[in-house]
Amino acid sequence: MTSTFEDTYGFFIHGFNKAEAIAKQIFKGTVPRDQMPDWKELDDRTFGWYSKENEDLARLNIINNACDIHETNYEYVVLEKVYTGVYPHSEIVQFYQWDAETGKYKEIPRPEWSKGVCNWSLG
């Protein structure tokens, strides 16, 4: 059996807080360095991995805040398609933002400050 990188992938769910989002903007030069949050405030983590057959389940679990992904902290979540291998290629599938009114995540367009950043889940 042969396999190519194009057909061996899965989906990672990765969350990060507002301070981490600000830090990304500072590193891109869109926010002044004097607005850098204290490093103790930066927070991000990978919550899960889904096989390529379960993309819909990954999306549903994000939207519905499965297992409390939000944890009162994770303002943003990104769903990434990540291929196998060392330093794997990844593609942003969808960004989500916490909606306090509904207690769920909602799909949002990819924020401008996030463009050029990749491999959120694996670093």
Among left, alpha and beta (phi > 0; psi -120 to 50; other), residue 20 is alpha
Tens digit of pLDDT at every position of the chain (123 positions): 455 556 789 999 999 888 888 887 787 777 788 888 777 788 889 999 999 999 999 999 999 999 999 998 999 999 999 998 888 888 888 999 999 999 999 999 998 888 878 888 887
DSSP-assigned beta bridge partners for residue 95: 78, 108
**Cα distance between residue 10 and residue 84, in whole Å:** 8
In a domain, 64, yes or no: yes
What is the number of domains present in the chain? 1
Domain interval for residue 23: 5-114
**Cα distance between residue 58 and residue 70, in whole Å:** 15
Residue position matching structure tokens 């593609």 = 91
In a domain, 123, yes or no: no
